Amino acid sequence: MGEAIVITSGKGGVGKTTTTANLGTALALLDKKVCLIDTDIGLRNLDVIMGLENRIIYDIVDVVEGRCKVSQALIKDKRFDELALLPAAQTSDKSALNAKAMMEIIEGLKPDYDYILIDCPAGIEQGYRNAVAGADKAIVVTTPEKSSVRDADRIIGLLEQEDIEPPHLIINRIRNHMMKNGDMLAVDEIIQVLSIDLLGIVADDDDVIKAANNGEPVAFQPKASASISYRNIARRILGESVPLQSFDEKPSFMDKIKKALGFKK
């Protein structure tokens, strides 16, 4: 029996869809059967990031309105057998879905998949309620910015009213030099305010954008910093204990020489 995890944030643009795509990929790389559900009706992105856009025939609204079966709408990822995507509709809006229909779809998928990742739209209205309806667990994504932490706090408050486990936190888009200078909220500070368990931190990595544009989530690239982060988070979801990544850059050759000569500590 699978587990449904909703990935949400409140604020838009913090990386929910990217996180969903990469966690799905990372979990699939660990031989788990994963189904991604895009609930951002009218503004679907997950299929683009996964590079599956041109294979969509039916979408989630077609399923809800009875035009097809769930299995017909699912897109199997050509790179793995274990990864599938249930795309959102681009033509309708959030009201095309409802909580009951979502719960039915998710219950129907649970026997066939280990993890069902639900990509939640921004905001706290109907779209959010649909996405949360069938979830067993929640992951809240935030960036080290005040506005994003504020919205994450709001979402955590709303999630507390739902019948799901206490949410976990992913801090996305960390810029190490800014955090060190104190120009960005520190990880500790964010956790202190939100007081929920930290699932992982992800650096602001250029490779994420490049990979997304190529329709191939960054988690495929074994060496990218963000990829390592997502793979670590996937392992933590599986219950392994993996230490947090350090984003300190390795000293360059010149730094080493300077240090040896005593110019730099």
Kindly tell me which residue out of 71, 95, 195, 213 binds other proteins, with binding defined by CB under 8 A: 195
- Min dist CB 202 to other proteins, Å, is 23
Please identify, among the stretches 12-20, 181-189, 191-199, 236-244, the one whose residues bind other proteins according to the rule CB under 8 A. Answer: 191-199
Nearer to other proteins, 92 or 126 (CB): 126
The alpha-carbon radius of gyration of the chain (Å, integer) is: 19
Q: Would you call 185 helix, strand, or coil by DSSP?
A: coil
Q: Please identify, using beta-carbon distances, which residue of 56 and 124 lies nearer to other proteins.
A: 124
* Residue 29 vs 184, nearer CB to other proteins: 184
| Contact call for residues 209 and 4 (beta carbons, < 8 A) | no
Would you count residue 156 as binding other proteins (CB under 8 A)? yes
CB of 157 or CB of 251, closer to other proteins: 157
CA distance 84 to 36: 6
Pick from 47, 151, 204, 205: which binds other proteins (CB under 8 A)? 151
φ and ψ at 76, to 5 degrees?
-80, 135
Q: What is the rounded distance in angstroms from the CA atom of residue 7 to the CA atom of residue 9?
A: 7
Between β-strands 83-86 and 75-76, what pairing exists: parallel, antiparallel or unpaired? antiparallel
Three-state DSSP at 95 gives: helix
Q: Is residue 150 near other proteins by the rule CB under 8 A?
A: yes
Residue numbers at the binding site for other proteins (CB under 8 A) = 150-151, 153-154, 156-158, 160, 192-195
